Amino acid sequence: MPPLAVDPYRPIRRGPAVPSAGSQHLQETANRPIIFTSEGLTLEGILHQPASASFPAAAVCHPHPLYGGDMNNSVVVAICQALAEAGIAGLRFNYRGVGRSEGEYGDGLGERNDAGAALAYLRQLAQVEQDRVGIVGYSFGATVALTAADERVAAAAAISTPSFGQGVPDLAIRCPTLLISGEQDEIAPPARLATLARTIGLQCQVTVVPGADHFWWGHEEALVELVAQFFRQCLMG
């Protein structure tokens, strides 16, 4: 498959998770550091989990590591917290070569395998409902999530998806899929989503958020509510 896209930006904004507006019956949550392996490499992550005895889960993929992206990106953290408050565990993790994760940048293919390993880690957890595991990614992480989604993934979401390196690859996605873009996104223009949606198929829906750009400053609350609502419908409906 062609290499994944490079995000031409450095996501320097960091901050606390943004609570999802309008959400009712928010669950208590707990965050705990975890480690798992991908192709013999030890990767670090943070699992945001609800207090319930069992729950669905989703792996959350961060922006491009060569441009400052990591699991502490404000959008990634906000998504994980919103998922956990909705009763869905969110696993954010550092790709190989990022933070305390072993290895080095894998040119997109290694990062796709890391996302697959994150899905496998979630499925083996006793509290996770194995047939209700999804994946979501932001920016470069969106391309990682879409290419890592296998036949066992129950739902997938891609936020601000940049161009794939050499055109849209063949994707194995068979589950409900949500593509989200900001109306003012100049890095991942929403006009490009039509081709990607056709490639994914009829199970794909597209949402464009008015006024939002690639970084989602001032629009994180609306974004995470869209993501949480989609996964609630797909994994808990």
Interval 45-92: pLDDT, tens: 999 999 999 999 999 999 999 999 999 999 999 999 999 999 999 999
CB 228 within 8 A of CB 85: yes
Domain membership of residue 8 (yes or no) is: no
11-25, 60-74, 118-132, 218-232 — which is least confidently predicted? 11-25
1 has pLDDT over 50: no
CB 7 within 8 A of CB 63: yes
Residues of the chain by 3-state class (helix, strand, coil), percent to 5? 30, 25, 45
* pLDDT digits 0-9 by tens, 90-146: 999 999 999 999 999 999 999 999 999 999 999 999 999 999 999 999 999 999 999
Side-chain-side CA neighbours of 231 within 13 Å: the count stands at: 31
Domain membership of residue 23 (yes or no) is: no
Domain membership of residue 11 (yes or no) is: no
Domain membership of residue 19 (yes or no) is: no
Domain membership of residue 231 (yes or no) is: yes
Domain membership of residue 12 (yes or no) is: no
Query: What CATH number did the domain enclosing 198 receive?
Result: 3.40.50.1820
CB 183 within 8 A of CB 160: no
Domain membership of residue 98 (yes or no) is: yes
Q: Which domain holds residue 109?
A: 29-236
- Cα separation, 48 vs 33, whole angstroms: 9
Amino acid at 177: T
Domain membership of residue 124 (yes or no) is: yes
In the chain, how many domains are there? 1
